[in-house]
Structure 1
């Protein structure tokens, strides 16, 4: 938990009942406007572009955005996987929007048209070009593959799309220039472009991060990694950080953060005590070495780090799935976050506490005579309510609950079946039963549970009535078959629970408590003597008695600190030594099993090597029953 809270500068809700993930938000500048825009794409296929504006003159502080902040909202009729902003058009130096769908990549341009009214500006999304993909897309990255320079030496950016099975598609503007497959990769992972050596940093499904050459085209469709580094866990994200003339690769895992140089050598590693959700790297104007990054966690905390040290921590309102560092309205270092359900928020770090104002108290004098009359009126109402048996639970309650069921003469004319797990041309018949509850006196927290055997289903299967008087209450329960199976029983159990003022064990045996340990099944009983102040413990095991006796000693010591405990009889060493001997025998047995597993494992590896040599041999030979020996050894190891 962070001591400080990130200060919210602007926020909005991007749609309702829509989901988002990493890659669904980007911040950039379009056209001649100097203000940054926030581009958000949802899995429902809706693209939204916001122009965040902070208004200090708002009277209602709960409103942090206006409808005019939304510049564009357009449905693209396909789930949006990722959004990127860059110079993706060869004939223009302006930034464009690249949107990755499941089966295609589209590049759009945001255009602005001035109107004749005060709020007449209109924003439109024009399609520049698109590429159809023959494989389902997973993610993409941008970069100057092969240099990416035009004749005017303006930076151009190409797009690399990775499919779900690890195939890379490199697009140079309107043409597909390269298709490469990653060997040994069957599930895609995070991808990032390393500009120094024109390479890609990719995390494969085997838990190792590889740096792949992507600058030149070759005749082969497969590429080999320049280096690889095993991180031992799934990678959540990969980012590049530049310090002076060196580049560093940061890989965020499920429990660790790895920092490598561009040659694949580990610089440092940071182990987490929390669950990270996303992270982002950023740079400053200070000419000092160090890698700066922000980590978002599932506990709604942002950790600002410098190398392997935490410099600041701030609490946020939502769990971020993606973070962006941007400049909005001239304010540098703004943190823009996106949650899973579309909460877009812009934060800045600060230590100012939230200002609170004390409520104004009424300064009018209290009339004593009016207060006394009001008090007498309330006491009279309380006295009348206490004498009403239908409203008050009696101190010595003897409540009796009666359940009556009224069966209909025939089934429902219209089927009320829901959540059916099989298909049938005819409607599934249903039966509605009326259930009536009647209590002899007022009870509270009445709960009715209906239990029936599979495949019969009841709806509702749990009904809460709250408080209940002597008047009966009635409800309806519908039964039908949820699956096409033969019912094992047609019995239905109705259970009613309620609260009274009586204790649970009033009519039971109040000097005996019995318990059973979960898992081991050991029983233990504690009996208090009626004639003398003695407690007796009974169990079939000495270990079972210890826990209850320890509880008794702690509770007696809490009530009387000067109490002393003595054991007058000889200690049961025989039972204790028997447990120790059994423990020793189990330890010896475990060591023997470990030795046998070690021997079988060495034998298993030796057989594998011999089988591998036979399979590599160009001239086929007999296996000499090595396959049978391998199978038997495998069973021994299991």
Structure 2
């Protein structure tokens, strides 16, 4: 990480959701040396953009004027992926500079016509195709130059993915040849002074071929002779080559620059003598060599994986500067108002022309704690930390949580303003369409004072919500980085939780150790619930008793209380946005109790969770509840539905397996009949009809399997909602240790696995839980299984339900006999609905 940063001269964004590589950037004087350099960018999506930057220094603001819309002179869709681009004299009988575009199927030569002052806002450019060559193989790169020492003309060489070289003398295809010892296309460069091609091989050697030898070898018939051309010279590099460049040092000397994975080499033009080699202490991404006139100094720009620009003169590092992006291509340009501009292009299409500044940009780490200190408590904490440090003296490089938090600071911002969503769950009904299709913007800001490698940020939300982009990868984090994503619903399922979990894992550059940090934020409750009139009838109820006076609803749910709640001050109706299920909360007027009721037990999970969390923030008393029979029945019904959906998916998968075996047997019989050339008609055997019917049966079962797996996923979400509701109620009655054990045993999310799912793991966990909490001898309990096996029988499933009931009975100390029955009507409820 460099102390200094580059200064922006001109910057723009090339398209949206397009990708680029090191061959997507080209700088050349298309309209002559007088009009300076033009920037050409070609994307993998086939979009060609040509810029003529006219940025200049403004004395009043002490800043450059930057990008203007008139700087983009051409933007057109080629129609195919742009693989490489070159400029040269590619048209016979003309000395004009033309543009060669290499696509995945063609090599196209374009003529760019400049009409100065043809329109009121400036010049107009036209792109005209002169000729094209259809390619018989998939191309990888394009090399141009005056092959064979011709004057006033440039020829073309296309390297294909199979390492075949296709040569074209302008409009005429000439010959092709295959270089030996190639597994993949390698970097290749043409040196016009010696009329040679310099490339690397798969054996990590640098090879040199004369064009004359290549032309003679490619024109011969090799049916009996050697199949591959031997190089004229070779040099053992000993590492993979990332790129090769050739620069003219003087009238009699050419330098071959080779960027390896670990070293930077400079060789003479005979490729057998090494001028110098520079060991790199970082991973290089791309490079560019140039010569400063008239001194003749050879300078090399190297981009490091830390987004740092390194400038070398020979083996000496002359300057380093931090770039605002991670480039995949770098070059040097001469614009109308500034010479020697460094032009960089990122993989996402950020194009910037910058220059070297001298003003340092220091990152000051924020303080670890902003609160005031209690010196007595701080002294006690220091004593405990000294004891802890003494115990862990031999543990090595272990950081405390405070140091880890300072290494990477995560700030999460959840927008309270919901936006319309064009994806996710779309309902056909006209009612509530706007409210059911809303999304929330999440902004995650990462800050660090050091260099962190391979930073992965995952955004996790509970169903039915998903993140538009749930995983972000940053190769190197040096200063500050902002990530944005959208949260929206994709299914008509009851919301389970409003938590948004941000998990960041990274690797430190100095120690190389892997660390993980997690932060939790809350989605706006308006995405999941909305106020509605309360309902009288209910199938599921839960009563929460408080030891202190009740808190009013306008304090608990200020964002949801409206006119309906003002009319019924002791009742609040909440409707799920995705399922339209209504949950009613009733507060007692003479007793400190809340009653939550609904016709859909799964919809109560989110409401009870929000109610308890907000009560703990507003009140300091204790809360108790009662586990009623309908709560256990709800859990058991969801368990049975999930188990049945698993069995149905397994049945369909087994039938598909049998039909696949039958299909292979039919195909084998068909192949045997064709080989034996049976005199009987193939249709008379019935095999074609059987083959077609088997195909239809398999396709029908595949559709059924997709439906069954969707049902399994839906029932899995219902099972998790029921378990979470049970755990929320049990949490009020049991101590922390036993609750943590039960939550670990049954509170995890079901997975779409074929062999082991929620039932198998919960069965083993509940057996261990019952054994650990039993005061009697454990001989009557089933032995702990050594290996987990798939649960297939109804008898095994019945044992699982019994174990769950035993665990609940063992933990729940507040039984119905000692508490208020669930079906007891609160006084306020009787008066409200009478």
Structure 1 position 457, deviation (Å): 11
Whether 2:20 is the aligned partner of 1:17: answer no
1:166 to 141, 163, 167: 163
Match of 1:451 in 2: 750
1:452-500 deviation line (CA, Å, top 9, x unaligned):
3523899xxxxxxxxxxxxxxxxxxxxxxxxxxxx9447999xxxxxxx
Match of 2:274 in 1: 266
1:107-137 deviation line (CA, Å, top 9, x unaligned):
1111234687523744321111111222221
CA contact (8 A) 1:81 1:101 kept: yes
CA contact (8 A) 1:213 1:223 kept: no
Whether 2:615 is the aligned partner of 1:389: answer yes
Structure 1 position 310, deviation (Å): 0.7
* Structure-to-structure mapping, 1:234-383, within 5 angstroms: 234-244=240-250, 245-263=252-270, 264-288=272-296, 290-353=297-360
2:210 to 209, 213, 228: 213
CA contact (8 A) 1:192 1:238 kept: yes
CA contact (8 A) 2:199 2:208 kept: yes
1:127-176 deviation line (CA, Å, top 9, x unaligned):
11111222221112111111221xxxxx3221111112222222111011
Structure 1 position 92, deviation (Å): 2.4
Measured in 1, the distance between the counterparts of 2:122 and 2:339 equals: 30
Unmatched segments (≥5 aa) in structure 1: 150-154, 357-380, 413-419, 459-486, 494-638
Measured in 2, the distance between the counterparts of 1:262 and 1:98 equals: 27
Partner secondary structure for residue 450 of structure 1: coil
1:426-451 deviation line (CA, Å, top 9, x unaligned):
252322233244435899xx997413
1:359-409 deviation line (CA, Å, top 9, x unaligned):
xxxxxxxxxxxxxxxxxxxxxx9xx99998343585999999999646498
Measured in 2, the distance between the counterparts of 1:328 and 1:62 equals: 13
Measured in 1, the distance between the counterparts of 2:29 and 2:106 equals: 24
CA contact (8 A) 2:145 2:190 kept: yes
Distance 1:344 1:19, change over 3 A: same
Partner secondary structure for residue 68 of structure 1: helix
Distance 1:238 1:8, change over 3 A: same
Measured in 1, the distance between the counterparts of 2:63 and 2:5 equals: 17
Measured in 2, the distance between the counterparts of 1:450 and 1:156 equals: 68
Measured in 2, the distance between the counterparts of 1:30 and 1:125 equals: 12
Partner secondary structure for residue 391 of structure 1: helix
Measured in 2, the distance between the counterparts of 1:120 and 1:348 equals: 27
Q: How many residues align?
A: 430
Two-structure CA RMSD over aligned residues (Å):
4.3
1:77 to 69, 73, 79: 79
* Structure-to-structure mapping, 1:533-552, within 5 angstroms: none
1:88 to 79, 84, 90: 90
Match of 2:172 in 1: 175
2:181 to 179, 184, 187: 184
Partner secondary structure for residue 339 of structure 2: strand
Partner secondary structure for residue 70 of structure 2: helix
CA contact (8 A) 2:756 2:790 kept: no
Match of 2:193 in 1: 196
Unmatched segments (≥5 aa) in structure 2: 223-227, 364-551, 557-611, 646-652, 658-697, 737-742, 758-788, 801-834
CA contact (8 A) 1:53 1:69 kept: yes
CA contact (8 A) 2:292 2:298 kept: no
Measured in 2, the distance between the counterparts of 1:331 and 1:488 equals: 72
Distance 1:176 1:451, change over 3 A: same
Measured in 1, the distance between the counterparts of 2:338 and 2:83 equals: 29
Measured in 2, the distance between the counterparts of 1:51 and 1:121 equals: 10
CA contact (8 A) 1:186 1:205 kept: yes
Match of 1:506 in 2: none
Distance 1:119 1:260, change over 3 A: same
1:509-534 deviation line (CA, Å, top 9, x unaligned):
xxxxxxxxxxxxxxxxxxxxxxxxxx
1:525-563 deviation line (CA, Å, top 9, x unaligned):
xxxxxxxxxxxxxxxxxxxxxxxxxxxxxxxxxxxxxxx
Distance 1:73 1:400, change over 3 A: farther
Distance 1:390 1:261, change over 3 A: same
Measured in 2, the distance between the counterparts of 1:395 and 1:238 equals: 73
Match of 2:238 in 1: 232
1:140 to 139, 142, 145: 142
